[in-house]
Amino acid sequence: MIKKVVLTLSLLLLPSCVPASELSYTAPYEVKIEAGEDLIGTGIRYVGMKDSGAEVLIEGQRAFKRKGDSLDWEGSPVEGVKLNLSLRVLWYTEKKLYLIGRAKVVVRDPQPQSGAIPVEAPLRFSNAPVSYLVKKGSYIPGTQIKYLGKTEKGAELSGVEGYPYRKALDSILWEGKIREEVYLRLNLRVGIISEHSLGVGGLATIWITP
């Protein structure tokens, strides 16, 4: 746990390069697809197990994959979102195809609104590491939480429920919608607190409901 905190805080020394009009998350991804079904929101379909391997359709084009083979896809599952899947075949049977790899989700023109998360959404990407250096008077990207400045009690925030102050290593939690059909949960820890900026880092989970 301590090693993870130290690593996270070291990342906070670097300001985020993500523009305010775009949010980017890269997460490990593991998924299984039933035979005869699509990976919802994508152009990937698992046809079934054949002598030549796992038969899949990628945007309508047939391919045969064996264990360890790559399976990539790039597209837009919903408006304003670009999804890049870089996967490998982990295992397959007559009934299911198991894939593992990485997902990159880019959300354009986010408009955060706090609220409930549809946890049963068909596309979910968890444990995406994030780190931000937030200027005084600015929002933590993807949230309605604003950094108001450094005080004797710690970093003062608006947009949080209840007590508005956080000291180094304290947690900040946020969840809500960042655009139509796209939801975000951030589990952050406070790093650097200064008069001019606040460093935070942690993990993001993204849900998409195509």
Q: How far apart are the C-alpha atoms of 172 and 199, rounded to whole Å?
A: 12
Confidence (pTM): 0.89
- 193, with CB counted inside 10 A (0-12, 13-18, 19+), is buried
CA atoms of 106 and 11, how far apart (whole Å): 20
Q: Over the stretch 83-140, which tens digit does the pLDDT of each residue have?
A: 999 999 999 999 999 999 999 999 999 999 999 999 899 999 999 999 999 999 999 9
pLDDT digits (tens, 9 = 90+) for 17-75: 344 589 999 999 999 999 999 999 999 999 999 999 999 999 999 999 999 999 999 99
Distance CA 11, CA 66 (A): 37
Sign of torsion over alpha carbons 140, 162, 137, 4: negative
Q: Which helix (H) or strand (E) holds 6?
A: helix 2-11
Tokens at residue 73, please? 């896809």
